[in-house]
Amino acid sequence: MESVSIIILFVFVLLVLLGSGVWVGLALMGVAWVGMELFTTRPVGDVMLTTIWSASSSWTLTALPMFIWMGEILYRTRLSEDMFRGLAPWMARLPGGLVHTNIVGCTVFAAVSGSSAATLTTVGKMSIPELRKREYPERLIIGTLAGAATLGLMIPPSLTLIVYGVTTNESITKLFFAGVIPGLVLAAMFMGYVALYSRFSRDWTPIPEAKLTLKEKLYNSRFLAPVIALILVVIGSMYAGFATATEAAAFGVIGALLLAIGQGSLSWRTFTQSLMGATRTSAMIALILAGAAFLSLSMGFTGLPRALADLIAQWELSRIELLLALLVFYVILGCFLDGISSVVLTMAVVEPMVRQAGIDLIWFGIFIVVVVEMAQITPPIGFNLFVMQGMTGHEMGYIARAAIPMFLIMVVMVFVLIAVPELATWLPENLRQGPS
C-alpha cells in the first residue's frame, strides 16, 4: 500500500510540473527532489550534484552529440535530391512505384542520421513534390513518409538506442546491431503494404515512369555512392571491430563534412547552423538524462522499483502477458511524451521487472524502440505528425488517419519480435567485439 501512495505522489508531482510547462529534465529533477526530501535523510543537494555530474560525464554518451551533428550536417546537403535521383529508377518498376522511395530513402538516411525528425524532413522535402507531380495518392505519400521516418529510431545510429543503452548500462554497439535486422524487416513490411495498396486501391492512378535501360539505372545510382560509403564507414567500422560507437560517430562527422564539401554545400553559415542545432538537441537530451539519473537514484532510496518488481512477480504474469502490458503502457505514454522522455522516465521501474522476468535487455531495447516509434505518429504529441503538418499544410486529423496503417504494421512488428526474438539477438550475439 505504501508503494501505491509513493507512486501516486510521484505521478502527481510530475503531472503538475509538466502541466505547468516545466522542461521534462527539470520536471524529473523536481520529482526526485521531492522523493529525496520526504523519504531519505541524505543531503539532497550533494546527491543531486554528484548524480548529475556522473550522468553527464559518461564516455558512452559522447557518441550522442556527434551522431546528432552528423545528421545535422547531412540535413543541410543535397543528400535528399541525390537519393531520390539514385533510387527512383530502381523503385519505378516495383508494385507501388515511386512511393517506395519514401521507405527506402528513409531507411538509407536513418543509417546515417539517428533522428526520426531529420529523416522525415530530409526525405520528405524532395519526395513529396516529386510524388505529387506524378499524381500518387496523397494519403499514401503522407502515411508512408510519416511511418517510415520512424526507422531513424531503430536503424543505427539511433539516438533512442544510445539513451536506452546509457540508462540501462548496456552495450551501445550491441544495441545498434540488434536494430539492423528488425529495422529492415519493418521497412520490408511497409513496402509490402504499398505493393498491396497499389494492387487493390481504386484511387491508384499515378503517371507511369519512362522505362530506363540497365546502363541508365546504374549511371543514376552514382548519386547514392556518397551516402552508401558513409554508411559503410560508420556501421562497417563497428561491425568489423575497428571502432566503438563513439569512435564510429567521430568517423561519421568527418565523413559528413567531407560529403558536404564535395557537394559544395558546406559554407561557414551551414557549418555553424549544424553545430548549433546539434548543441541544442544534445543539451536537451543530456538534461533529460541527468534528470532521469537523479530520479532513478531517488526511487532507489524509496525502494519503489524493487517493490513494484516484486508485486509484478506476485501476479505471476507470463513473459507474453508482461510484454503486452508494457506494450499498452508505452503506447498510452507515447501519446503524451516523446520517445526519449518515455524511455528515461520509466526505465528505473521497468528494468527490474524485465530482468526478473528473464527478458534479454538487448532484445527489450528493440521492443521499446518499436513501441516508441508508434508514439511518433500517434496524436496528440506524435512529433512526426507535427513535422508532416508543417511540410504539407494538412490538418492533424488527416495526417494521423493516413498514418494509421503504418501504426498497425508496427503493432504486427511487435508480435513478430516476440515470436522470433532472434531477429534482434542474432547479430549482437555474433558481433565481433571492437575496442573498449
Q: What angle do CA 108, 110, 388 make, to 5 degrees?
A: 105
Closest by CA to 340, choosing from 283, 386, 403, is 283
Residue 154 has pLDDT above 80, yes or no: yes
Supply the pLDDT for residue 209.
Answer: 73
Whether residue 175 lies inside any domain: the answer is yes
Supply the pLDDT for residue 421.
Answer: 92
Q: Phi-psi category of 85—alpha, beta or left, where left has phi over 0 and alpha has psi -120 to 50?
A: alpha
Whether residue 415 lies inside any domain: the answer is yes
Report pLDDT digits (tens) over 217-236.
888 888 788 888 888 888 78
**pLDDT, the chain, mean:** 81
Distance CA 208, CA 92 (A): 8
Distance CA 113, CA 252 (A): 10
Q: What is the C-alpha end-to-end distance of the chain, expressed in Å?
A: 45
Whether residue 49 lies inside any domain: the answer is no
State the pLDDT confidence band at 195, using cuts at 50, 70 and 90.
Answer: very high
Whether residue 194 lies inside any domain: the answer is yes
Assigned C-alpha cell, 19 = 502541466
Supply the pLDDT for residue 435.
Answer: 45
Residue 196 has pLDDT above 90, yes or no: yes
Residue 48 has pLDDT above 50, yes or no: yes
Query: Number of structural domains, the chain?
Result: 1
Whether residue 99 lies inside any domain: the answer is yes
1 vs 10, which has greater pLDDT?
Answer: 10
Report pLDDT digits (tens) over 63-120.
778 888 887 887 777 776 777 778 888 888 888 888 898 898 888 888 777 677 777 8
Distance CA 434, CA 84 (A): 34
* For the chain, percent of residues with pLDDT exceeding 70: 92
Whether residue 4 lies inside any domain: the answer is no
Residue 126 has pLDDT above 50, yes or no: yes
CB-based contact 339:149 (threshold 8 Å)? no
Report pLDDT digits (tens) over 20-39.
877 777 887 888 888 888 87
Supply the pLDDT for residue 80.
Answer: 65
* Amino acid at the residue 240: A
Kind and range of the H or E run holding 228: helix 225-239
CB-based contact 158:400 (threshold 8 Å)? no
- 90: which residues sit within 8 A by CB, 6+ positions away? 217, 221
Whether residue 20 lies inside any domain: the answer is no
CB-based contact 136:207 (threshold 8 Å)? no
Secondary structure class of 57 (helix, strand, coil): coil
Supply the pLDDT for residue 337.
Answer: 66
Whether residue 38 lies inside any domain: the answer is no
Domain that holds residue 381: 59-429
Supply the pLDDT for residue 367.
Answer: 93
